[in-house]
Amino acid sequence: MLDATWPSVVPALPLFLAGANDRLQEVCIALDGFLDFTGRWDEWLALSQQAEARAVAAGDHDNAGWRAYQAGWVHRLRGQAEAVLACADRAAAHWQQAFPPGSPGQAGTRERATALRLRGLGHRLQEDYPAAIAAFREVVELFRSLAAESVDVALALNSLAGAEHHSGDFDAAERDWGFLRRAIASFYVVTA
């Protein structure tokens, strides 16, 4: 339905960009999946970058981090390693401001892991597999500190195993894909 009405939605985006930051961030969250899966990467990138700037101006560093991450994801889809790494740096910096050291509990752990995973994906695009593997290993540990088994852990294990595979370390890749298979099997048994 959104795809069919998209030509009438696009002209409204500048109104959201000029309006309240909270509403703009809600619109970005609502449109992320749609823009990704319909291949509207140019619109997604432009919206993410402008919404990141609006969030920074509003002192909303958490959402600024997510918009930088989304921009980085678009660059990853396009195979633009340097831009991915720049977005990972921006996301990490925003989240560091949103969740400064000493924040209570696990505040910022998921965000730190998310920015680090984006950095690992940038290294993988550069074919710098040792840097990608190191980043993904840390991501797995950060996500496991939040929950031993989760979708985030599974995605991190898949990224790690993929980088290991591309580096030629097939034994490590098989081991980590094995962890992933067991995690998925366990997840489905628990939730079934």
| Stated pTM of the model | 0.88
Quote the pLDDT of residue 22.
96
pLDDT > 90 in the chain, percent: 70
How far CA 166 is from CA of 48, 83, 86, 170, in Å, comes to 30, 21, 23, 8
State the residue range of the domain holding 156: 127-192
Residue 189 has pLDDT above 70, yes or no: no
pLDDT tens string 11-61: 888 899 999 999 999 999 999 999 999 999 999 999 999 999 999 999 999
Q: What is the pLDDT of residues 148-171, one digit of tens each?
A: 888 899 899 999 999 999 999 888
pLDDT tens for 55-85 read: 999 999 999 999 999 999 999 999 999 999 9
| Residue at 115 is within a domain | no
Asked whether residue 108 is domain-assigned, the answer is: no
Residue 105 falls inside a structural domain: no
Q: Are 41 and 35 in contact (CB under 8 A)?
A: yes
Counting the structural domains of the chain, the total is 2
Residue 91 and residue 33 share a domain: yes
State the residue for tokens 């997604």.
44
Q: Do 141 and 91 lie in a common domain?
A: no
Q: Locate all alpha helices (DSSP H) within the chain, ordered by sequence.
A: 2-9, 13-18, 21-37, 41-57, 61-78, 81-98, 109-125, 129-146, 151-167, 170-191
Question: What's residue 26's pLDDT?
Answer: 96
- For residues 85 and 157, membership in a common domain is answered with no
